[in-house]
Amino acid sequence: MEKQLYGREVLLSEWNGKGEVLNQAKHRPAFEFIQNKWQCQRCGTNDPQLLIPGPCTCGEDCFYCSQCLNMGKVKKCSQLFSLPEKNDFLIMKTSPLAWKGQLSTEQERASKDIIQAVEKKENRLVWAVAGAGKTEMIFEGIAKCLREGGRVCIASPRIDVCLELAPRIREAFPSIPLALLYGKTEEPYDYTPLVISTTHQLLRFKAAFDLLIIDEIDSFPYHNSAILQFASRKARKENGALLYLTATPPRDMQKLVKEEKLAATVLPARYHRFPLPEVRCVWVGNWRRDIKRRKQKANFLRLMEQTIQNDRRFLLFLPHIHLMEELEHWLKEYYPEKNFTSVSAEDPLRIEKVKKMREEVYDFILTTTILERGVTFRDIDVIVLGAEDAVFTEASLVQIAGRVGRNKDYPKGNVWFCHFGYTKAIKGACKQIKEMNREARKRGLLNEDMPSV
């Protein structure tokens, strides 16, 4: 049972093993007084306003950290228990990678860079357009680390991304035990050489991973979260490799790349060598009012009708849940013969609904930004209604557009940004997509003979 503490750092209430293991474990106070402030050692918070006083049986003036409360209450009097990561895994004579697919030239280049990062224990950004095939690029790097007895974690801010990634990684490494960790999982934690987790779950690790891969680093809630970035630093071994994956790196990270302070591999083209579908921006007037009044001749409704008449399946993105639900009720009356649904982060059935959309049970699906990344559908269009809303950042819009044309047999599709005002984010997203296509053409990475939709 002591293996369950290797590379972990948990509260006594989170430990279900035998007591004698705790006697061997290292432990430290959950809070330290650093530079005249109390700091939570689980999440790194030192903001006094986030440390909440409360009654406690310890008999002292106690408080707890509200910033990481969703991971369990950690108090001033709490202790964090851990055992050093011992990499209690077999060193393999052959590669554990079972995937027999073939990488494109660009994917192969990225794969070699990733292997080098693993060998040199360095940080590297893989900046690859949506649909470039990032998952396949990391296989050889993971295989190298596992073969040498190392421990690997792939972390993402989004549960949906983890759930989509897990079966693909299991299929690629069928002989390697894998733990899938997220907030609502019903499976107990197990000590494994390969871990897929949400970035929040990294808070329970300490110097555990020889290779830590953070997917979708620009995604909420990881981006601009000091806590989750603290968690990733704590979870990685001091001499471990750190790999960032994204199609839309934050501007501060782009700056580090330009200043040559961060190694980067940039892939401006998709694996199937077709360009990114470029966006058509459509002014649709006051679409919120049209939904509220159920205006039969609403501009966005005409676009939907055109898409349906062309027998195209699509994702319809909206900025807020209440707007999405209101529109869904109207569309149920307007299109009684169509099979569609809506999905959001609050939907307990979202995993099943996404699965049905992938199986092409639905004609279309209304969604919030929950489906902006990490999901792939065979042949779809995308409509963003209310693209001017602040919810849709430049990065978010680029990711949403990236849902289209991902399949090599269906590399072309339509993307519409329907707006009531042209914003900086819309302009930036359109520009970024065009620039990536321009760079891909410049490098000779595109096949320009596009099949018709």
d(CA 25, CA 132) in angstroms, rounded, equals 44
Q: Which CATH superfamily is domain 279-434 in?
A: P-loop containing nucleotide triphosphate hydrolases (3.40.50.300)
**pTM (two decimals):** 0.86
105-267 against 279-434: fold identical: yes
Tell me what pLDDT residue 353 has. Answer: 94
d(CA 91, CA 400) in angstroms, rounded, equals 41
Cα dist. 321→114, 223, 315, 357 in Å? 39, 22, 15, 19
- Arch. (CATH architecture) of 105-267: 3-Layer(aba) Sandwich (3.40)
CA 125 to chain CA centroid, Å, is 15
Q: What's the token pair of residue 77?
A: 């009097």
Tell me what pLDDT residue 277 has. Answer: 94
Tell me what pLDDT residue 18 has. Answer: 58
Tell me the β-bridge partners of 153: 195, 212
Tell me what pLDDT residue 21 has. Answer: 67
Is residue 392 within 8 A of residue 414, CB to CB? The reply is: no
Q: Write the pLDDT tens digit of every residue in 113-153.
A: 999 999 999 999 999 999 898 999 999 999 999 999 999 99
Q: N- to C-terminal Cα distance for the chain?
A: 56
Domain boundaries, given as residue ranges, for the chain: 8-83, 105-267, 279-434
d(CA 69, CA 438) in angstroms, rounded, equals 46
Q: What's the token pair of residue 126?
A: 């893989």
Tell me what pLDDT residue 397 has. Answer: 96
Tell me what pLDDT residue 351 has. Answer: 85
Is residue 44 within 8 A of residue 230, CB to CB? The reply is: yes
Q: Which of 392, 400, 444, 429 is nearest to 268 (CA)?
A: 444
Is residue 22 within 8 A of residue 15, CB to CB? The reply is: yes
Is residue 22 within 8 A of residue 81, CB to CB? The reply is: yes
Q: Write the pLDDT tens digit of every residue in 220-245.
A: 667 778 899 999 999 999 999 999 99
Cα dist. 192→7, 157, 196 in Å? 11, 21, 10
* Ranges of the chain with pLDDT below 50: 449-450, 452-453
Tell me what pLDDT residue 449 has. Answer: 47
